[in-house]
Amino acid sequence: MNAAWLPLATLATSILAAVVIFLLPEESRRLRTGINLAAAVSKIILVALMVGRVSQGYQDTFSFQIVGGIDFVLRADALGVMFAGLSSLLWLCTTIYAIGYLEGAANRKRFFGFFSLCVASTLGIALAGNLFTFLIFYEMLTLSTYPLVVHAGTAKALAAGRVYLRYTLTGGVVLLLGTVMLYSLTGDHSFASERGLAPYLNDHRGLLTLIFVLLVGGLAVKAAMVPLHGWLPRAMVAPAPVSALLHAVAVVKAGAFGIMRIIYDLYGIELSVELGVTTALAIAASITIIYGSLRAIAQHELKPRLAFSTISQVSYVVLGVSLFGPFGTIGALVHLLHQGLMKVTLFFCAGNYAEELGIHRIDEMDGAGKRMPLTSIAFTVGALGMIGLPPVAGFITKWYLGIGAIQADMYWVVVVLVASSTLNALYFLPIVHRLWFRQGPAHGFGEWPKEQRLGRLETHGWLLWPAVFTAMVSIGAGLLAGLPFSPLDWATRVAIGEYLP
């Protein structure tokens, strides 16, 4: 039985929310909040339904023909549902956070309208059943993020928006070219097809490699792989919820997720290894990991440091994908989820410090743990997870990636992993040290740059609880990794599906 309505309804929830928000007047704050939360919650319910259906072995598909030979396909498969689950869970947290963050700010209607469109695009990317549909939502994501990047309307924000477009639109054009060439060669090719592109290998080896380079090159822009990463640190000028969800999760993950789709569901992992493209990708990912970490150490402001850390961390996903073997795959898949949870926590906390205390630079953070204990605990959890310490979720990723590298006989990858963990510790531990062990304004030395008392607790409740929640989920995902429906369990299910068809 095919429940075609299910993927469609999931996608429609946030598109409808966007339309309704655009229709409402700017002043109707309560109604907009209600719609936002209702849409986010119903989306989680729908995604949970999809998870249930997929675990029972169904692949609900919605499709119709656009023109001859080209279909629009939404399909709920295990990999897609995983990404959809991540984005819908974090959407709820970020919506709550954004409502608190933008309290009293201007242009909230525009913000939430485009925010919903972004999430709709992310969901479309997750559920796209072929490359054409993927491309549609991938470009939609670019367009709907632009108004959020330039939201502040300052000269700096507008300049960042211009850089952002320059990178992402060019990447989109390259991706379009690759997609058109692939369709011209093979016709419509569903992600669900079992055969991969192997039948074309003998006659079109060079062309297949070229198309792979175009596709992955286009996607690598959004995945912020070096040297195509320049837009991400600049885009940090956007409001904190945008940095948290989009630049830590949705946009960069859309690129990484796309690379996964290309390798696992389009080319097939055997063919990718045969073409030799995975080794090249592993090297590119390793360079990005090291380079991102080195640049992160050099940053003096909190958000840019987190941004460079994102650049480095997202490439773990790509690295895992390019290791041939089930453990590398599990590591990549599970990192897609874990990194999202931990990074969103870190960005929430960075936003809290900026809103409550006016802290933007790292050397202003001395002793903030005493003033904002819960936020600082959440930040510490996220930071330790990024370094890869148990029991936070990040440990599992690095463990599986390491085993995967050894199984694939790529020992240099282990060196990269160790080096990168050391670098992570080098740029995160000083912050943690400042938070808890330095004396600062909370101990009576100097004062905070711009302190506001936003709530009864250490800050506004709408800002605090999402950060605490995601921090707890990050620990939970690590501690309870053995339970069914945990990220690790689901990633294992996907990986088994890939390697044992």
Partner 1 sequence: MTWRFGLTEATFEPLWLTHWVLAATLALPILFGLLGALFSPRRTLPVALVCVPILLTGVLLLMEYQQAGLLRWQWQVAGVTVSLRLGGVSILMLLVTQWVGAAAALYTPGHLRLTNPGKQARWLWPLMGVLISALSLIWLAADLLTLYAALELMGLAAVGMLLLSGKPAALQAGMRYLLLALVGSLAYLLGVALILGYWGQLNLQALAEVVEPGPVAWIAAALIGAGLALKAALFPLHGWLTPVHESAWTPVSALHAALVVKASLFILLMLWNILLPSSLFAPRFVAWLGMLAIVWGGLVAWRSDSLKTLVASSTVAQLGYLMVAFPLIIGPDIPPLPKALAWEGFWLQLIGHALAKAAMFMAAGNLILATGESSLKGLAGTSRRLPLSLLIFGLASVTLMGLPPSSGFTAKWLLLQAMVMTQQWVAVVALLMGTLLTAAYVFRVFRYSFDETAPRHHYQPLAPSMDLVALALALAAFALGLLAHLPLALLQGGGV
- The letter for the amino acid at 133 is T
Q: Does 203 bind partner 1 (CB under 8 A)?
A: no
Binding piece for partner 1, criterion CB under 8 A, among 141-149, 231-239, 409-417, 460-468: 141-149
The nearest distance, CB 114 to partner 1, in angstroms, is 11
Q: Does 41 bind partner 1 (CB under 8 A)?
A: no
Residue among 219, 249, 396, 391 nearest 310 (CA): 249
Question: Which residue, 68 or 444, is less far from partner 1 as judged by CB?
Answer: 68
β-bridge partners, 116? none
Q: Does 210 bind partner 1 (CB under 8 A)?
A: no
The nearest distance, CB 47 to partner 1, in angstroms, is 22
The nearest distance, CB 170 to partner 1, in angstroms, is 6
280's tokens: 């090249």
For partner 1, the binding residue among 38, 45, 158, 418 (CB under 8 A) is 158
Binding piece for partner 1, criterion CB under 8 A, among 155-163, 246-254, 354-362, 435-443: 155-163
For partner 1, the binding residue among 4, 12, 19, 22 (CB under 8 A) is 22
- Which of the 8 DSSP states describes residue 61? E
Long-range contacts for 144-150 (Cβ within 8 Å, ≥24 apart)? 144/114, 144/117, 144/118, 144/120, 145/114, 145/118, 145/242, 145/246, 145/251, 147/110, 147/111, 147/114, 148/111, 148/114, 148/115, 148/118, 148/238, 148/239, 148/242, 148/246, 149/235, 149/237, 149/238, 149/242
200's tokens: 């074309």
250's tokens: 């949705």
The nearest distance, CB 399 to partner 1, in angstroms, is 39
Binding piece for partner 1, criterion CB under 8 A, among 59-67, 246-254, 275-283, 369-377: 59-67
In degrees, rounded to 5, the angle at the alpha carbon of residue 215 between the alpha carbons of residues 214 and 217 is 65
Binding footprint of partner 1, residue count (CB under 8 A): 41
Question: Which residue, 179 or 421, is less far from partner 1 as judged by CB?
Answer: 179
The nearest distance, CB 163 to partner 1, in angstroms, is 12
Helix (H) or strand (E) holding 63: strand 61-67
The contacts of residue 225 (CB under 8 Å, 6+ apart) are 255, 284, 285, 288, 311, 314, 315, 318
For partner 1, the binding residue among 66, 415, 418, 483 (CB under 8 A) is 66
- The letter for the amino acid at 80 is G
Distance, in Å, from the CA atom of 465 to the CA atom of 480, rounded to the nearest integer, reads 21
Dihedral sign computed on CA atoms, order 43, 216, 266, 394: negative
Question: Which residue, 152 or 468, is less far from partner 1 as judged by CB?
Answer: 152
Q: Does 19 bind partner 1 (CB under 8 A)?
A: no
Q: Does 183 bind partner 1 (CB under 8 A)?
A: yes
Residues 77-136 that bind partner 1 (CB under 8 A): 106-107, 109-110, 132, 135-136
For partner 1, the binding residue among 2, 184, 439, 452 (CB under 8 A) is 184
Q: Which residues here bind partner 1, judged by CB under 8 A?
A: 22, 65-68, 70, 72, 106-107, 109-110, 132, 135-137, 139-140, 142-143, 146-147, 150, 152-155, 157-158, 161-162, 165, 169-170, 172-173, 176-177, 180-181, 183-184
